[in-house]
Structures are given as structure tokens and as C-alpha cells.
């Protein structure tokens, strides 16, 4: 069989897709057993889109490495920080100099922002659940019939006692 050499999107190794099992993301090949880090993938896609990059420059890769290894940031945390800075705060991309150095200065601020959003969502959710409970109480209110039965039994018992 002819060789079909492809490069794994995750580990970067070249392999023969006619021999080794693989899966695909879009048009890219991935070893079947190589796990694609969705968070990392999403972040890299976003950075590329933000700066119109086809591949990440070494500078940005270095920044990412530093954030993950030294600052203890997560890929999804960095992603959310960039979303916060450029989509929510509408900051000027021109000032970024093609890099993501800003993340270091606003990571905690962004975290607080997203946490407050989560808290607000939770409160809404709780309020909705409260409403549902109210409705349920309302619906079950007309169910008074068992009371009559109880009364009947009660009077029956009374009658019995009287005898």
C-alpha cells in the first residue's frame, strides 16, 4: 500500500495514515490515541483569529508556555481573559503588538469578572427554580379531595364509636 504520511496535530510526529489508526479535526490528522486538548485548541484558534495568524509566532508560543508553566494559568483561563479584554472591554488590538503579554496584567481582573457572571447566572437559576416551586404549589393547591375522604372516614369512625 502506498504511504500516506501525515503530521499529527497533537504530538507533531509524522505517521503513515494507511497503517496507523487516526482521527481528524477538520482536515488535520491526529493519532487515534493522541488526545486533543480542546481548551488549548480553542485558545490557539482564537489567538490566530485575533491577530490574523495562520500559525502562532514563536513569540506567542513562548508567552503561552510561560503563562502555563510559570504563572500556573490554564488554557481556558487565558482564553477567557482574552475574550474579556477584547470582546467585553473592547480594548485596542493594535496595542497588543501581536502578542498576548497583556494577559499577565488582567488575568485576575478577568477571573473576577467571569466569577461575577457565574454568580449572577446562579442567582437567576435559583430564582427560576423558586418560580417553578411556586407554580407547583399553586397547581397542587386545588387537590382538596383527600380531605373529604378523610372526613368521611372520620365521621364513620365517630359513628362507630357512638354505637
Interface residues with Zn ion (CB under 5 A) are 8, 10-11, 31, 34
Least distance to Zn ion, CB of residue 14, Å: 10
Least distance to Zn ion, CB of residue 67, Å: 24
Nearer to Zn ion by C-beta: 11 or 117?
11
Nearer to Zn ion by C-beta: 31 or 80?
31
| DSSP state letters, 54-117 | SS--HHHHHHHHHHHHTS---HHHHHHHHHIIIIIS---GGGGTTS-TTHHHHHHHHHHHHHHH
Least distance to Zn ion, CB of residue 9, Å: 8
Nearer to Zn ion by C-beta: 10 or 96?
10
Greatest extent of the chain over all pairs of C-alpha atoms, in Å: 101
Helix axes 75-83, 38-51, angle to 10 degrees: 30
Least distance to Zn ion, CB of residue 29, Å: 9
Interatomic CA distance for residues 22 and 34, integer angstroms? 9
Nearer to Zn ion by C-beta: 34 or 83?
34
Amino acid at each position: 500500500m502506498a504511504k500516506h504520511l501525515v503530521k499529527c496535530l497533537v504530538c507533531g510526529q509524522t505517521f503513515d495514515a494507511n497503517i496507523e489508526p487516526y482521527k481528524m479535526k477538520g482536515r488535520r490528522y491526529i493519532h487515534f490515541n493522541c488526545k486533543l486538548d480542546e481548551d488549548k485548541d480553542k485558545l490557539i484558534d482564537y489567538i490566530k483569529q485575533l491577530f490574523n495568524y495562520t500559525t502562532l509566532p514563536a513569540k506567542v508560543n513562548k508567552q503561552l508556555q510561560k503563562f502555563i508553566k510559570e504563572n500556573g494559568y490554564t488554557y481556558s483561563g487565558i482564553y477567557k481573559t482574552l475574550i474579556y479584554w477584547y470582546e467585553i472591554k473592547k480594548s485596542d488590538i493594535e496595542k497588543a503588538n501581536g502578542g498576548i503579554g497583556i494577559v499577565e496584567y488582567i488575568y485576575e481582573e478577568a477571573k473576577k469578572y467571569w466569577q461575577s457572571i457565574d454568580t449572577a447566572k446562579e442567582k437567576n437559576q435559583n430564582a427560576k427554580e423558586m418560580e417553578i416551586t411556586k407554580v407547583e404549589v399553586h397547581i397542587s393547591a386545588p387537590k382538596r379531595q383527600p380531605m373529604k375522604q378523610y372526613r368521611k372516614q372520620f365521621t364513620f369512625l365517630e359513628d362507630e364509636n357512638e354505637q
